[in-house]
Structure 1
Amino acid sequence: MAAMENLFSGAICGIIYHLCSGQPLTIIGSTGPVLVFETIVYDMCSEFGWDYLSFRTWINFWTAFFLLIITLTDSSASVKYITRFTEESFAALIAFIFIYEAFAKLLKIKDNLQISTLGGGDCECLLNDGNVTANVSECSINSGTYVGDDCYVLYDKFLMSIILMFGTFILSIALKKMRLSGYLPTRIREVLSDFAVIIAIALMTSADIFVGINTPKLTMPSTFTPTYSGRGWFIPPFGTNPYYTAAFAAIPAVLSCILIFLDQQITAVIVNRKEYKLKKGSGYHLDLFVLSILILITGYLGLPIYVAATVLSINHVTSLKVETEASAPGEPQQFLGVRKVFEEIEQRLTGVMTFILIGVSVFMSKILCYIPMPVLYGVFLYMGINALGTLDFFERICLLLMPMKYQPDRQYIRHVPIKIIHFFTFFQIICLGSLWAVKSIKKISILFPIM
């Protein structure tokens, strides 16, 4: 998000993917599990003293090679063995990553608060090396501790960040539900619902500008250059690494291939569920072929790997739902399908337009710099919780605390005893917790794709 070349390359990859791929409703991006794997590889390279970008280039090369073999051997047909259990566990993991990161980033703002004094009293900062300084920025950078009787921490930035984050989240939820409201004309309610997130971002950014508190803002580079000044546009295959690292990269590439295959295909399976009533056929093989070529290109450019983004894709499908306009009082609206552009094109246009707008955004850096980061954390929180709301897994978790007379009328509740449903839910929670634990423990985190 901080680098122009990442935004621009993401837009180009997205456009290529949507023009060539058979999955028009799938949004492409850098997803949570892939970013987790990137962090694991970076830590491994730091431990061995290898150049991360060069080693990563060979991982991408081997990953693309393995994905091409999968495509040519018709191995994508194995997606038929992916059950609802795996789909929802994977989608829930990514949704929880969005929610967790939103709160984790918000709490980090508290570590960079400024200090003031009451009545001109004494207040100093004790640094980790034992030195003392009165420089607020130096104290924040070095995680110093304030000592003195008159130190007064300014919590205005943190409190304003909380307001911006939860304000964005609440506004997005409220405006999204305006479509079902009895207020305002139908057309206005539809516009407010369709552009709920954008309106929420605009309103909370305006509030931040009006109040004038120095909240952390979205940083955008002013020039189109690599974010890291110590590298060029193309990554040298070896750099300072030994030559054997090219062959050794095949080992983590196997794990990367497993992760990308599951990330891409599980998202595609979720999007192609029967309940979404899509008419265009799926293209699992073609999708994987296009992504393998893109992974090879982004590896040599040192850019993030782009695969199907589960949370974004689910929100994309949800935003394109078409439901009955009129229903009896108290009766829920009936889902009819997704919006169609042409008979032969099932919303490929919206995906292409999404990434065209992302590409255009690199020329709007001066405007984007006004957006507070807590507002974006609110968007992440909204996306994570909104994605959870579409999962039967989350509904079954709610059933654990719900008396029988208030339980919804679902097929599985009719045909399966509630004790068996609760046991199944507990087992899925344990599996999800194990997956999170493996991801979080550095010593075994390399096994995350296998889990």
Structure 2
Amino acid sequence: MPFYFWTCMWCSFFTILVAVTDLCALMKHVTMFSEDIFAGLISLIFIIDGVRPIIEDFTENKMTLTSAMFEALLFIYTFGLATYLSHFRRTPWMLRPIRNLMANFAVTISLVTASALAAIYSSDTNLRMLSVDADFSPNRVLSDGSKRPWIVNPAGIDRPFPAWGIGYAVLPAIGFAVLGYLDQNLTSVIVNRPSNNLAKPPGADQHMGGL
């Protein structure tokens, strides 16, 4: 945990440097080809992470066929309903305000209804549910058997955190900072394409400082 703390501190430091030095202006050199590659990569990551557990249910015998099939149906239902409702504003059904409301909250509606179906039929299908402790407290157990405190001591919890670990935390922090920089700014570039008729206001780099 202290290592995570120092990694986040270094990442915050690098992100603030990006904001105060106006490095976000470098995005003007990004081509549309790079934007499409980035958007495709992010989409592919989410698709793989979503489909992989469903495939593993059938191939690794982690659960019964009924449970695996029910999870797959919930997956298809959630994706299908969200996709349909996102285009619902273009249909002639219902009043325009209702269509817009359902389109704006398409993902939320699909997740809530799918979660409700999962809760209703979980006992009949032995569906895997998220295991959550009854008490609201940190889950990590220390060497003395107690749970870790809410406030993480940067100097160490079970044992003193070595000083060299603070410097070593710079390496993953650089990766996180670069990832956050690319994700935030390339996403902004894609959203603010000329075809969308949007423009960044003055002080557009301040959002990096807020991160």
Give the structure-2-normalised TM-score: 0.78
1:157 aligns with 2:107: no
Question: Would you say the 8 A contact 1:176–1:196 is kept in 2?
Answer: yes
Q: Which amino acid aligns with 1:181?
A: T
> Shift of residue 156 of structure 1?
0.9
Indicate the residue corresponding to 1:344 in structure 2: none
Task: Report the AA paired with residue 70 of structure 2.
Answer: M
1:274 and 2:194 are equivalent in the alignment: yes
C-alpha contact (below 8 Å) 1:55/1:238 kept by paired residues: no
Q: Rg bigger for which structure?
A: 1
Q: Distance in 2 between matches of 1:60 and 1:100?
A: 27
| RMSD of aligned residue pairs (Cα, Å) | 2.6
Matches within 5 A, 1:355-370: none
Q: Which runs of 5+ in 1 are unaligned?
A: 1-52, 114-153, 292-451
Q: How does 1:160-309 map to 2 (within 5 A)?
A: 160-211=70-121, 212-230=124-142, 231-239=148-156, 240=159, 241-278=161-198, 281=201, 283-291=203-211
2:19 alignment partner AA: T
Indicate the SS of the match to 2:83: helix
CA distance in 2, matches of 1:206, 1:54: 38
Are positions 1:84 and 2:32 aligned together? yes
Say yes or no: does 1:59 pair with 2:7: yes
Q: What 5-or-longer segments of structure 2 have no aligned partner?
A: 143-147
Structure number with higher helix proportion: 2
Distance 1:280 1:166 in 2: 37
Greater fraction of residues in strand: 1
Partners of 1:265 and 1:284 within 8 A in 2 = no
Q: Which has the higher contact order (CA 8 A, sep 6+)?
A: 2
Alignment of 1:126-145 (within 5 A): none
Offset of 1:187 from its aligned partner?
4.2
Any idea what the Cα deviations from partners look like across 1:258-300, whole Å, max 9, x if unmatched? 2222122212222222222236616442111122xxxxxxxxx
- For 1:78 and 1:280, the matched residues in 2 are separated by 14
C-alpha distance in 1 between matches for 2:201 and 2:89 = 30
CA contact (8 A) 2:192 2:200 kept: no
Could you tell me how far 1:96 is from its partner in structure 2?
Answer: 1.1
Q: Are the equivalent residues in 1 in contact too, given 2:192–2:199 (CA < 8 A)?
A: no
Distance in 2 of aligned mates of 1:202 and 1:247:
44
Tell me if the contact between 2:67 and 2:127 (Cα under 8 Å) persists in the aligned partners.
yes
Contact 1:226 1:232 in 2 (8 A): yes
Paired residue secondary structure (1:162):
helix
Q: Percent identity among equivalent residues?
A: 29
TM-score (norm 1): 0.40
* 1:195 aligned partner, one-letter code: F
